[in-house]
């Protein structure tokens, strides 16, 4: 005897059920703030100290903790001691860009290597524009490069060199680009 299976709900039925369940949901006010703790220093890491900058009391190899604000596609990260007014100026594109890198079409690994080489080769440049795209062609996993670049800048090997990062203004690529402000290179 063959047992009859219950009917499979249609996608339209699922969508209606979801919309009904979410009908009284409302958007949270204000940006989401997340404090990112620094990665622990590697054993035996050198502790060089410098002077002349508010963040120079930290070891050069020690990543800085970042305060992250995200509101939709708008995103900012700032290290302790970086003024919000400066970050707004950077996010508005009012800081002249000194170097630009376009990562379109690269894999995460290729982009990470290119970004590392780029930051190392910028010399005295501090204001960088990294174009990665919005991730519209990344597939179901979402914006691959955009998220990878952000993670690499605030949690990866470059975190100790970055003081601030933000989504670029629309005139410079919007959510498809990231503006970065680097700490002063060691003299």
* Locus of tokens 């998220």: 147
- How far is it between the farthest Cα atoms of the chain? 84
pLDDT digits (tens, 9 = 90+) for 153-186: 888 888 889 999 999 999 999 888 999 999 887 7
Does the model's pTM come out above 0.75?
A: no
Sequence-ordered strand ranges (E) for the chain: 32-36, 66-71, 74-79, 99-102, 127-131, 162-167, 177-182
- The kind and range of the H/E element at 12 are helix 11-21
Domain 73-187 is in which class?
Answer: alpha beta
- Residues 106-158: pLDDT tens digits? 888 888 899 999 988 888 889 999 998 876 555 555 457 888 888 888 888 88
- Please, what is the Cα angle at 103 between 102 and 106, to 5 degrees? 150
What is the C-alpha separation between 168 and 163, in angstroms, rounded? 16
CA distances from 175 to 22, 47, 83 (A): 27, 36, 22
């Amino acid at each position: 005897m063959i047992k009859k299976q219950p009917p499979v709900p249609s996608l339209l039925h699922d969508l209606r059920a979801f919309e009904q369940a979410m009908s009284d949901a409302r958007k949270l006010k204000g940006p989401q703030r997340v404090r990112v703790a620094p990665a622990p220093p590697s054993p035996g890491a050198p502790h060089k100290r410098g002077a002349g900058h508010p963040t120079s009391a930290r070891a050069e190899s020690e990543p800085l903790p970042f305060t992250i604000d995200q509101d939709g596609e708008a995103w900012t990260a700032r290290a302790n001691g970086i003024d919000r007014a400066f970050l707004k100026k950077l996010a508005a594109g009012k800081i002249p860009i000194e170097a630009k890198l376009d990562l379109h079409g690269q894999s995460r690994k290729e982009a990470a290597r290119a970004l590392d080489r780029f930051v190392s080769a910028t010399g005295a440049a501090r204001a960088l524009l990294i174009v990665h795209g919005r991730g519209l062609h990344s597939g179901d996993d979402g914006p691959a490069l955009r998220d990878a670049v952000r993670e690499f800048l605030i949690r990866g090997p470059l975190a100790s060199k970055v003081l601030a990062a933000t989504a670029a203004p629309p005139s410079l690529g919007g959510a498809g680009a990231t503006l970065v402000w680097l700490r002063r290179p060691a003299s």
